[in-house]
Amino acid sequence: MGFGESACVTKISGTVTILCSVNGNRIALSHGAAKNILVEQVSRR
């Protein structure tokens, strides 16, 4: 499982462990792993 360049990632909750929805799947990321993801804010769908 991986992130693609155009993957839509939505933060669901968390500060230390981040719970995200990626293309309809929920994943948990450590704070350290989440810091390594480059994000760009886009308008809501």
- Is residue 7 domain-resident? yes
**Report field, pTM of the whole predicted structure over 0.85:** no
> Which amino acid, one-letter code, is at 20?
C
d(CA 42, CA 22): 15
d(CA 30, CA 45): 27
User: What's the mean pLDDT in 32-42?
Assistant: 80
> Tokens in use for 41?
């804010």
Domain count, the chain: 1
Q: Where are the beta strands (DSSP E) in 1-45?
A: 9-13, 17-22, 25-30
- Is residue 45 domain-resident? no
Share of the chain above pLDDT 90, in %: 11
**Structural domain containing residue 5:** 1-40
H or E segment to which residue 8 belongs:
none
User: What's the mean pLDDT in 28-40?
Assistant: 83
